[in-house]
Amino acid sequence: MKRLAAALVIMAIAAAVIFWVLTMPQRLDATVTANADAGDAARGERMFNAGGCASCHAAKGAKGDDRLKLGGGLALETPFGTFHAPNISPDRQTGIGAWSGADFMNAMLRGVSPEGEHFYPAFPYTSYARMQPEDIADLWAYMKTLPVVEQANLDHQLPLPFRMRRGLGLWKMLFLSDQPVVAIASGDDQLVLGRYLVEGPGHCGECHTPRNLIGGPDTSRWLSGGPAPEGNGKIPNLTAGAGGIGSWSVKDIAYYLESGFTPEFDAVGGTMVEVQENMARLPASDRDAIAAYVKALPALDSQ
């Protein structure tokens, strides 16, 4: 019995060590973050709009210059608990003003905080992981030009075991990747750009792709719609399958992103209002590329 007890203790210790190693937050190599503080703010504004940063981090309903005040606070209710968008303004105490460019890049591409903890994937770094480091650097340069907002962050309201961030290391092993989802033939620059904007900064898959029981995106059903993350209604299917937008042309999709009107002259509604307003601020060539990519998606029926 003593030998069995000792063996069980050793196995438990070994399992704990393996878990600790496997779930360790993985930072970017210093060569990747070397130019993180050398971005261009003018180019960064495009990434800011593509990423829709104001939609979650500005005050609800903010318009005009107020949408650039990123004090956070938006509550996102999910099956795993309620997450609160943090203050990402340049305030040094309550925001991210004390961060370095490398800190920001590690947050965006790896979901790792300056303190070396995993961020919850309510922050869509699973999409941002597909962004180019130079675009992250540009975004960081732009973020530093925004108004300082002194506003304390709200704590997430999560039940056990979801308060244990360390376990997210295993989740990331399954779902965090910098590889594109949809294969595109080389040489089609417009489709490549559209894929980048949709799968990366635009993080469209975070809402339009169904998730499994542990909150991971089911990429086999990419952008085919599914239950709304907050549990109310459904997110539309963007493919040409049954229940999707197969009747829309590339021009229809681009016009919708610019104007907020569907081919049937319905107006955009719900949480898509904020997304459409952000997309309207992009260059027309970006909207055209997004539309071309969406139109080229493999057809999947709504479920």
| Contact of 89 with 147, CB cutoff 8 Å | yes
Please tell me the predicted confidence (pLDDT) of residue 229. 64
Give the distance between the most distant pair of CA atoms in the chain.
76
How many angstroms from the chain centroid is the CA of residue 104?
Answer: 14
CA distance 269 to 106: 34
Strand 81-84 relative to strand 226-227, pairing: unpaired
In the block, tokens 């050398």 appear at 38
What one-character DSSP code corresponds to residue 96? Answer: S
Strand 226-227 relative to strand 234-235, pairing: antiparallel
Please tell me the predicted confidence (pLDDT) of residue 223. 98
150-180 pLDDT per residue, tens: 999 999 999 988 888 888 999 999 999 999 9
Q: Tell me phi and psi for residue 28, to 5 degrees.
A: -70, 150
DSSP string, the chain: -HHHHHHHHHHHHHHHHHHHHHT---PPPTTTSTTTT---HHHHHHHHHHHTHHHHHSPTT--GGGGG------EEEETTEEEEPPP-SS-TTTSSTT--HHHHHHHHHH-B-TTS-BPPTTS-HHHHTTS-HHHHHHHHHHHTTSPP---PPPPPB--TTTT-GGGHHHHHHHH---S-SS---TT-HHHHHHHHHHHTTT-THHHHS-B-TTS-B-GGGTT--EE-TTSSSEEPP-SSSTTS-TT--HHHHHHHHHHSB-TT-PBP-TTHHHHHHHHHTS-HHHHHHHHHHHHTSPP----
Asked if omega into 201 is within 30° of 0 (cis), the reply is: no
| Contact of 152 with 268, CB cutoff 8 Å | no
| Contact of 68 with 146, CB cutoff 8 Å | yes
CA distance 199 to 222: 10
Spell out the per-residue pLDDT of the chain, length 303, in tens: 777 766 667 777 776 677 666 678 999 999 999 999 999 999 999 999 999 999 999 998 889 999 999 999 889 988 899 999 999 999 999 999 999 999 999 999 999 999 999 999 999 999 999 999 999 999 999 999 999 999 999 999 999 888 888 889 999 999 999 999 999 987 899 999 999 999 999 999 999 999 999 999 999 999 999 877 656 678 999 999 999 999 999 999 999 999 999 999 899 988 899 999 999 999 999 999 999 999 999 999 998
Q: Which of 171, 165, 175 is nearest to 127 (CA)?
A: 175
CA distance 90 to 154: 17
